[in-house]
């Protein structure tokens, strides 16, 4: 889940500045402000993602965050040249993408609490690997397809993470039923 979620994120994020300048037509003078808003939204998303995992549950938080993540990436590709729309979508994207992190970490800790350090360490390694892979895939997409395709390819990665989450939830539910019998 972490690999595809963060890999999908990195495909687009690695090329965010050129994407904003060349594809959305954002003025260069607004780029720093857009990236600052993006960063603040990630902080808020991370905080609220942890809160949501506690109150609404891990699966709800992961699925809703990743769904908004995909929607934001698609909307970014459709935003055109409206600076207001681009800012709003960037904030949504960053908020949604980073709401997933705390929920995924909490999920891993609850799977096997006695091995939480190992689980979190493996997750962190997977996150680093996925960022590198996402950046590499983004480079292949930019050079082989176009810069405008990075948001679509990133969205596909996040959708794969969502499908993996749903598959794992079904598997877990089957195991609970089998162990109850």
- Taking the model in full, what pTM does it have? 0.93
Residues whose CB falls within 8 Å of the CB of residue 45, separated by 6 or more in sequence, listed in order: 65, 94, 95, 96, 97, 98, 99
Q: Give the number of other CB atoms < 10 A from CB of residue 28.
A: 9
Mean pLDDT of 100-120: 92
Mean pLDDT of 36-46: 97
Per-residue pLDDT tens over the stretch 115-172: 999 999 999 999 999 999 999 999 999 999 999 999 999 999 999 999 999 999 899 8
Predicted confidence at residue 80, as pLDDT, reads: 81
Predicted confidence at residue 174, as pLDDT, reads: 86
C-beta separation of 24 from 151 below 8 A: no
Q: Which two tokens stand for residue 41?
A: 């939204």
Whether residue 69 has pLDDT greater than 80: yes
């Amino acid at each position: 889940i972490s690999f595809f979620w963060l890999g999908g994120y990195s495909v687009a994020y690695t090329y965010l500045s050129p994407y904003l300048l060349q594809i959305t037509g954002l003025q260069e003078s607004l780029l720093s402000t857009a990236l600052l808003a993006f960063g603040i939204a990630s902080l808020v998303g991370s905080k609220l993602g942890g809160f949501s995992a506690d109150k609404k549950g891990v699966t709800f938080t992961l699925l809703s965050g990743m769904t908004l993540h995909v929607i934001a990436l698609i909307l970014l590709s459709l935003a055109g040249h409206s600076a207001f729309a681009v800012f709003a979508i960037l904030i949504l994207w960053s908020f949604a993408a980073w709401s997933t992190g705390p929920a995924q970490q909490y999920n891993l800790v609850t799977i096997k609490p006695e091995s939480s350090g190992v689980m979190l360490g493996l997750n962190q390694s997977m996150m680093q690997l996925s960022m590198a892979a996402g950046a590499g895939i983004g480079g292949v997409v930019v050079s082989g397809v176009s810069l405008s395709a990075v948001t679509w390819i990133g969205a596909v990665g996040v959708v794969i993470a969502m499908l993996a989450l749903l598959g794992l939830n079904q598997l877990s539910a089957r195991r609970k039923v089998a162990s109850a019998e």
